[in-house]
Amino acid sequence: MPEEHNHGGSEHWEHVDIPEHYEVVIHGDHVHLGQFEHAHIGYYRQGEVLEHPQGMPPQIHPPEGFHWVGIPGHYDQHGNHTDYEAPHWGLHGQHS
C-alpha cells in the first residue's frame, strides 16, 4: 500500500513496495536470469499514477520454481529522484 511522505522541498512522494525479483533477458523462446534485486521501497510523485507493466507477462515459461511478477515504475533513490525505473516484468522465486 503506498504511503505519502515529504522528502524535502515542495514535492511529496508516495512509497511502493518493490518485491525481490530477478531482472530477465529474453533470448528467443527462453529466459536468462539477470541481476537479483532485493525487496525495497520505491518512490513516485504524489498525484502521479503508479505505472504497472501493461498486458500479460511474457508468454515464455519461466524456469522451474519461478513466476512472473509485475514491477511498477518507480525511483529507487531516497532524496535523489532522478533514476526512474520503467514498469517491467521480473521473475520471483528461488535465489541463493
| Average pLDDT of the segment spanning 17-43 | 94
Place of cell 505519502: 4
Global confidence as pTM: 0.81
Residue 79 DSSP code: S
Residue 80 DSSP code: -
d(CA 66, CA 2): 26
Does residue 41 contact residue 63 with C-beta atoms inside 8 Å?
Answer: no
d(CA 71, CA 84): 12
Residue range 37-82, pLDDT digits in tens: 999 999 998 898 999 999 999 999 999 999 999 999 999 875 566 7
13 alpha carbon, distance to own chain's centre: 16
Helix (H) / strand (E) containing 67: strand 66-71
